[in-house]
């Protein structure tokens, strides 16, 4: 899921650096009518190619909003999308939570290098000794050791009680860490949910109240919400999902629980998120109002761990080199970009900003397609290019299996179905075979053995290769990628289910045939 997105940032931008030859063009803000037309044309073209119902964007330069726009529709009734339409921003909640933590650091209420147990004495994981070594900085940098997949399981909670967030963190007392704190990077919502509880504990307010009062209000984020009910009251867009390739409104799985608010449960609009980016680009200042000091903003933006030489993770931000923008920087230097993405069923979001060029991009889409996420995110990178007067980038594509997963699964399932019909017919004929048909019986035995091997290979490939690589499970797939999850279930029913039954029936029928031959 998002973990793969962050790990691929470095390679993506290294490749992107080879796509365009640097020119002598100077930095140009997307302010002219022609440039805005180019942006509109580009977005509308991508929406058509990717069948995205609605998009909202925002472009920031310096301390000003250069452009905001909505495209397409927000629901099946045809309500027009606007830059004020709220979206579920999913993991874009993380940089907002990180900002809240840094505000508490500035107030002297929390120390980044202090262990979590200093503020939550009851905090535990399975290893009691390791529990005391997890610090606030580890959580912010995603280096605590918590497991990504388990955090997605936590997302399925429907607990909306006042105690929900604390109870979910207390339940981590049996969690096994994947590595010692500080040793490696693993993107997981759990880290930021713990940070949300720290905000709640140290501020004396609920997480929701704190975010609304300390971040949304001073940044004039009037169309941003900390609850699904509030966002729906603000006319949020519906989310869309491509069921077997058919784009369909799908709001059945939303973050109803309070435990995912800090990591994935906030709502905002493109217009509001431009205000958030202005504060990031202007040392914590928004329209003369300081929400954080320049020093603390710099800390938020400084990588704490590197994915590669060219990319790392800061505090709620992935940080990378942006070689395609070297042509519009002083001395053709390669600027640093910061980004974060958000994914949920029906929603995709992306923030990108380049401090050296004082430019920021907001991209919100009311569709999510796990098979085409690189192409979706490429829209954001290209908007950043267009915003500084450059050409859009070539779209990035998923690997062959990822991009064609639905078709590949459908073909495999059809072939398995055909194989099942063939096997049933053969099994029905087997008891009547006599000794003169022993060669055919041997041939059938070989065929059944080959089928069993294919079944086993497919099941093992899915359960022990495909799902672990994607940090997924069958149950999570059914909830977050429902059509793909359903095909996974059908594949397992044909392989482990019918495959086992077919093999047992063949063995039983073979024994009957042998008895018949012996009797003759």
What is the domain extent for residue 147?
A: 2-398
289-290 and 305-308: which strand pairing? unpaired
Neighbours of 43 (CB within 10 A): 23
Tokens of 221: 């984020």
Taking residues 18-36, report their average pLDDT: 47
pLDDT at 23: 30
Which of 354, 379, 398 is the last residue in one of the domains? 398
Pair (318, 452) in one structural domain: no
Over 50: is that where the pLDDT of 257 sits?
yes
Q: Residue 333's Cα: distance from chain center in Å?
A: 31
pLDDT at 458: 95
Q: Strands, E, within 41-93: which ranges?
A: 54-61, 64-72, 87-90
Neighbours of 399 (CB within 10 A): 9
What are 97-147's pLDDT values in tens digits?
Answer: 999 999 999 999 999 999 999 999 999 999 999 999 999 999 999 999 999
Pair (274, 373) in one structural domain: yes
In this structure, are residues 357 and 60 in contact, taking their beta carbons and an 8 Å threshold?
Answer: no
- Measured between alpha carbons, how far is 122 from 187 in angstroms, rounded to an integer? 24
Pair (392, 407) in one structural domain: no
Residue 71 sits in a domain of what CATH number?
A: 3.40.710.10
Which of 351, 379, 398 is the last residue in one of the domains? 398
What are 157-188's pLDDT values in tens digits?
Answer: 888 888 999 999 999 999 999 999 999 999 99
Over 60: is that where the pLDDT of 471 sits?
yes
Percent of the chain with pLDDT over 70: 90
Pair (362, 422) in one structural domain: no
Pair (21, 166) in one structural domain: yes
Over 90: is that where the pLDDT of 479 sits?
no
DSSP state of 225: B
pLDDT at 21: 30
DSSP secondary structure letters along 92-158: THHHHHHHHHHHHHHTTS--TTSBGGGT-TT---SSHHHHTT-BHHHHHTT-S---HHHHHHHTT--
Pair (406, 363) in one structural domain: no
What are 53-86's pLDDT values in tens digits?
Answer: 999 999 999 999 999 999 999 999 999 999 999 9
Over 50: is that where the pLDDT of 282 sits?
yes
Tokens of 415: 């072939």
Tokens of 26: 């100077």
Which of 398, 418, 434 is the last residue in one of the domains? 398
Tell me which residue of 322, 327, 325 sits closest to 25, measured CA to CA: 327
- Measured between alpha carbons, how far is 396 from 5 in angstroms, rounded to an integer? 12
| 9/401: higher pLDDT | 401
What are 381-416's pLDDT values in tens digits?
Answer: 999 999 999 999 887 777 788 788 899 999 999 999
Pair (510, 436) in one structural domain: yes
Percent of the chain with pLDDT over 90: 72
- Among the residue ranges 16-30, 141-155, 403-417, 503-517, the one predicted with the least confidence is 16-30
Tell me which residue of 321, 317, 358 sits closest to 341, measured CA to CA: 317
pLDDT at 400: 80
Pair (340, 410) in one structural domain: no
Banded pLDDT at 429 (limits 50, 70, 90): confident
Tokens of 115: 């262990």
Pair (391, 489) in one structural domain: no
Burial 51-76 (b: 16+ CB within 10 A, else e): ebbbbbbbbbbeeebbbbbbbbbbbe
- Measured between alpha carbons, how far is 44 from 72 in angstroms, rounded to an integer? 8
pLDDT at 439: 75
Pair (369, 437) in one structural domain: no
| 137/27: higher pLDDT | 137
pLDDT at 19: 31
Over 70: is that where the pLDDT of 11 sits?
no
What are 292-331's pLDDT values in tens digits?
Answer: 999 999 999 999 999 888 999 999 999 999 999 999 988 8
Over 80: is that where the pLDDT of 420 sits?
yes
What are 184-209's pLDDT values in tens digits?
Answer: 999 999 999 999 999 999 999 999 99
Tell me which residue of 472, 256, 261, 281 sits closest to 359, measured CA to CA: 281
32 burial (CB, 10 Å; 0-12 / 13-18 / 19+) is exposed
Mean of pLDDT over the chain? 89
Pair (355, 432) in one structural domain: no
Tell me which residue of 386, 465, 510, 366 sits closest to 37, measured CA to CA: 386
Q: What is the 3-state secondary structure (H, E, C) of 432-484?
A: HCCHHHHHHHHHHHHHHHHHHHHHHHHHHHHHHHHHHHCCCCHHHHHHHCHHH
pLDDT at 331: 85
Q: Residue 357's Cα: distance from chain center in Å?
A: 27
pLDDT at 514: 64
Paired residues of 320 in beta bridges: 311, 337
Over 70: is that where the pLDDT of 222 sits?
yes
pTM of the entire predicted model: 0.89
Pair (227, 134) in one structural domain: yes
Cβ neighbours for 17, distance < 8 A, ≥ 6 positions apart = 321, 323, 324, 334
**What is the tally of structural domains in the chain?**
2
Q: What is the 3-state secondary structure (H, E, C) of 334-403?
A: CCEEEEEEEEECCEEEEEEEEHHHCEEEEEEECECCCCCHHHHHHHHHHHHHHHCCCCCCCCCCCCHHHH
Element housing 241 (H / E): strand 240-243
| 510/435: higher pLDDT | 510
- Measured between alpha carbons, how far is 333 from 413 in angstroms, rounded to an integer? 52
- Among the residue ranges 24-28, 152-156, 395-399, the one predicted with the least confidence is 24-28
| 163/508: higher pLDDT | 163
Over 70: is that where the pLDDT of 252 sits?
yes
């Amino acid at each position: 899921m998002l973990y793969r997105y962050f790990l691929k940032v470095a390679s993506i931008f290294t490749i992107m650096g080879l796509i365009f030859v640097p020119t002598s063009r100077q930095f140009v803000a997307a302010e002219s009518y022609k440039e805005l037309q180019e942006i509109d044309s580009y977005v509308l073209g991508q929406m058509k190619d990717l069948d995205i119902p609605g998009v909202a964007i925002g472009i920031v330069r310096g301390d000003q909003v250069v452009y905001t726009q909505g495209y397409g529709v927000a629901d099946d009734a045809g309500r027009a999308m606007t830059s004020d339409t709220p979206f579920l921003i999913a993991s874009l909640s993380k940089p907002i939570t990180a900002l809240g933590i840094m505000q508490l650091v500035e107030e002297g209420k929390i120390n980044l290098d202090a262990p979590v147990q200093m503020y939550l004495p009851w905090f535990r994981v399975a290893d009691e000794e390791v529990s005391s070594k997890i610090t606030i900085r580890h959580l912010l940098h995603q280096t605590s050791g918590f497991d990504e997949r388990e955090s997605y399981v936590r997302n399925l909670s429907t607990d909306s009680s006042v105690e929900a967030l604390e109870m979910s963190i207390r339940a981590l007392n049996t969690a096994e860490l994947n590595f010692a704190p500080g040793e490696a990077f693993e993107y997981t919502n759990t880290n930021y949910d713990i940070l949300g509880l720290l905000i709640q504990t140290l501020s004396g307010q609920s997480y929701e109240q704190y975010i609304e009062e300390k971040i949304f209000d001073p940044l004039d984020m009037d169309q941003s919400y900390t609850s699904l009910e509030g966002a729906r009251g603000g006319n949020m867009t519906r989310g869309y999902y491509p069921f077997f390739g058919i784009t369909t409104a799908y709001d059945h799985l939303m973050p109803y629980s309070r435990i995912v608010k800090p990591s994935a449960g906030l709502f905002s609009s493109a217009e509001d998120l431009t205000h958030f980016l202005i504060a990031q680009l202007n040392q914590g200042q928004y329209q003369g109002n300081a929400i954080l000091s320049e020093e603390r903003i710099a800390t938020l933006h400084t990588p704490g761990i590197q994915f590669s030489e060219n990319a790392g993770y800061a505090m709620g931000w992935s940080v990378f080199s942006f070689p395609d923008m070297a042509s519009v920087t002083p001395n053709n230097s390669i600027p640093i970009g910061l980004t974060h993405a958000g994914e949920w069923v029906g929603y995709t979001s992306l923030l990108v900003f380049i401090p050296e060029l004082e430019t920021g991009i907001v991209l919100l889409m009311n569709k999510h397609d796990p098979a085409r996420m690189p192409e979706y995110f490429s829209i954001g990178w290209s908007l950043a290019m267009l915003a500084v007067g450059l050409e859009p980038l070539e779209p990035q594509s998923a690997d062959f299996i990822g991009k064609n997963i639905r078709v590949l699964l459908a073909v495999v399932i059809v072939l398995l179905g055909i194989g099942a019909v063939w096997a049933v017919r053969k099994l029905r004929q087997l008891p009547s075979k006599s000794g003169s048909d022993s060669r055919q019986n041997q041939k059938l035995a070989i065929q059944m053995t080959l089928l069993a091997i294919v079944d086993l290979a497919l099941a093992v490939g899915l359960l022990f290769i495909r799902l672990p690589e994607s940090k997924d499970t069958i149950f999570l797939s059914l909830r977050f990628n429902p059509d793909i999850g359903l095909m996974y279930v059908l594949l397992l029913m044909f392989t482990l289910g019918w495959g086992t039954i077919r093999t047992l029936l063949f063995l039983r029928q073979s024994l009957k045939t042998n008895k018949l031959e012996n009797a003759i």
